[in-house]
């Protein structure tokens, strides 16, 4: 199958403002892009282009640097992506590796991070999941618990909300489900990382609030990363990864070094249906 993805995001700015954007498809999906992915920046006031310099961050994500001109900037992107059309892989035999056997570069995915306070949640995690079988069964038990414990709602979104806050408040958006689940995984000795990307309503009935960009997580089992989604708790079709990191702080879609105001936010992630 093929999936059409893209976005149009507009910010207003009183003065020229440097920005970092993470809106590119992840390098692991480059071979699936049909043709090329296009990302441009245009001034709000004058029809021209704003230069974007692209680089890879320490996690391997593609980032862009630009200076939004006074008046603001519109970010536009589009791509056509091939996809298997298969749901997320389910591998019940995947094993949890002893910590002393993990590659060095994975240890940071066991550590606390900005939104994932393992120190506050370790005792809770062991009380909830200490009797589960290590490996896939344990991660799935964590996902099922978070899915049932947390109520989804856009009104519950807050940029300062941490995994511990989510556990206590029992509500949040997709990133909050992911933060709590991956923190529980880390508490149980399973490396886990945050993921962001496109995920449209493909293969399911349309939801009241259409999906676009979404947050989920990956757990490291049997020597590879597997996708888990605590918000939906079912394998989904058509995820297109954009970035990975310790938590949402590492994969912010846009970061501005000055005051800017969001004016427009439109995202497309639709299956291309043959005529």
Q: Residue 51 region, left (φ>0) first, then alpha (ψ -120 to 50), else beta?
A: beta
pLDDT for 209 equals 63
CA atoms within 13 A on the CB side of 21: 27
pLDDT for 61 equals 98
8 Å CB contact between 6 and 79: yes
The b-or-e profile of 100-135 (16+ CB within 10 A means b, else e) is eebeeeeeebbebbebbbbebbbeebeebbeeeebb
Binning the chain into helix, strand and coil, the percentages to the nearest 5 are 25, 35, 40
8 Å CB contact between 18 and 74: no
Task: Enter the tokens of residue 246.
Answer: 């310790």
pLDDT for 208 equals 64
Say what the pTM is. Answer: 0.95
Mean pLDDT of residues grouped by 10 in the chain (275 residues)? Answer: 96 97 98 97 87 97 97 97 96 98 97 98 98 98 98 91 98 97 98 96 75 91 98 95 98 96 94 82
pLDDT for 212 equals 80
pLDDT for 273 equals 84
Who's near 185: CB < 8 A, 6+ residues apart?
A: 139, 142, 191, 192, 217, 219
pLDDT for 90 equals 98
pLDDT for 96 equals 97
pLDDT for 210 equals 60
**In terms of Cα–Cα distance, which of 90, 133, 118, 99 is closest to 181?**
118
Domains of the chain: 2-84+253-271 (2.60.40.2250), 99-237 (3.10.620.30)
């Amino acid at each position: 199958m093929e999936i059409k993805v893209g976005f149009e995001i507009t910010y207003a700015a009183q003065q020229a403002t440097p920005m970092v954007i993470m809106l590119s498809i992840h390098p692991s999906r480059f071979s699936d892009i049909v043709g090329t992915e296009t990302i441009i920046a245009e001034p709000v006031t004058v029809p021209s282009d704003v230069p974007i310099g692209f680089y890879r961050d320490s996690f391997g994500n593609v980032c862009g640097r630009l200076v939004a001109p006074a008046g603001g900037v519109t970010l536009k992107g589009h791509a056509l992506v091939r996809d298997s059309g298969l749901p997320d892989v389910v591998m019940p035999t995947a094993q949890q590796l002893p910590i002393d056997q993990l590659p060095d570069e994975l240890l940071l995915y066991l550590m606390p991070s900005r939104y994932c306070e393992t120190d506050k949640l370790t005792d809770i995690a062991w009380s909830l999941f200490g009797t589960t079988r290590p490996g896939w069964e344990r991660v799935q038990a964590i996902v099922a618990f978070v899915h049932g414990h947390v109520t989804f709602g856009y009104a519950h979104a807050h940029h300062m909300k941490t995994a511990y806050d989510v556990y206590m408040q029992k509500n949040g958006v997709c990133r909050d489900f992911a933060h709590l689940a991956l923190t529980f995984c880390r508490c149980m000795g399973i490396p886990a990382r945050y993921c962001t990307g496109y995920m449209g309503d493909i293969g399911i009935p349309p939801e009241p609030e259409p999906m676009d960009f979404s947050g989920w997580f990956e757990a490291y089992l049997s020597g590879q990363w597997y996708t888990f989604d605590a918000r939906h708790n079912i394998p989904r079709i058509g995820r297109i990864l954009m970035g990975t990191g310790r938590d949402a702080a590492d994969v912010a879609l846009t970061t501005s070094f000055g005051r800017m105001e969001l004016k427009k936010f439109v995202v497309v992630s639709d299956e291309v249906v043959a005529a």
